[in-house]
Structure 1
Amino acid sequence: MTKIALIIGSLSQNSLNRSIANHLVNQAPEGVSVEEVIIGDLPLYTQDLDQQMIDVYERVRKQLSEADAVLFVSPEHNRSVPAAVKNLIDIASRPFGKSVWNGKKTAIVTASPGSYGGINSGLHLRQILQSLGAETLNAPELFLSRANTALNDHGEVNDERTVSFLNKFASTFYAWVVKL
């Protein structure tokens, strides 16, 4: 069984990024499990805690280290990565010498109601992950602009063009992870 860790960068339960993530998860082929890494309950990272056992830190480090790949689906906050996502990345990169990111396969999807689709967040996230030794999926990059218009009243992706784009990304991502 191939394990994918899913990180949704928005803490809102009604986030359009959660809707996008749900669509991508539903495209997972047989033999692939996707488990969300909950990030809203993580205390802010500080090096002072490196020598302590923090249960929620250990939970996310374990989930990420056991995953074959990590899929980020995130909005953009103030032209960059949301604080909760950056906090998770920092937690999982520490203590020094025990980073879970080195060699980890990662993919990045950003979605925004704005016209830029969260591109700055996606590029910053890629830069951070690569600096930590993670391998990032290069193509297709996925920055969904005006993503809120692709959802129906139930929060499901129903715009034909967006569905096609997401399905192409999902196919490429899952094939890259599983080596289909």
Structure 2
Amino acid sequence: MTALTLVADTPLDAETYRLTQRLQSALEGAPQGDGSVLSSLSRQLCDHLLARYRGAERTSGERAALSPWQEKRAKEILARSLHSRLLIADVAQQCAMSRSHFSRAFKKTTGLSPQEWTLDLRVRTAKQLLAEDRLSIAQVSLECGFADQAHFSRTFSRLVGMTPKHWRQLNREQARA
């Protein structure tokens, strides 16, 4: 039988390392023909590796999160689409997922729904533009993908706790101090 060698500083996650150690012990101590333990450990290791590197990590009852590449792609697509109306189904398709599964996985990964994340990004972008003080508030609202200045002001006030005009004034005062 070929020996399985594990190197402690190999960049494996703790669970992969633990399962491979258990598999190695089982291989070394398993009597001929006793494949149930080996089969079970092999399955656990395969499930873990697939979950970890495909982004579908889940235990019974737990919902899957996005893989790193899916999260990156989704955020890039959403960020590029601040000015336009984007369908979540289109983002989901780019991440090779159904719309409903994507929405659940995105929320599990980021803590926000795709719509909430996009709105948060719009407000953060608006704060940057307001701080630069080169665009009017109406221009900032359009630049960040809001339908109009009134909608922008209501949303900004609800999320930030003050109007864009007041936020800009406070930012100017803090910059001078």
Task: State the TM-score, normalizing by the size of structure 1.
Answer: 0.20
Pick 1 or 2: higher relative contact order, CA cutoff 8 A, min separation 6. 1
> Per residue, is there more helix in 1 or in 2?
2
TM-score, normalization: structure 2?
A: 0.21
Higher strand share: 1
Larger Rg belongs to? 2
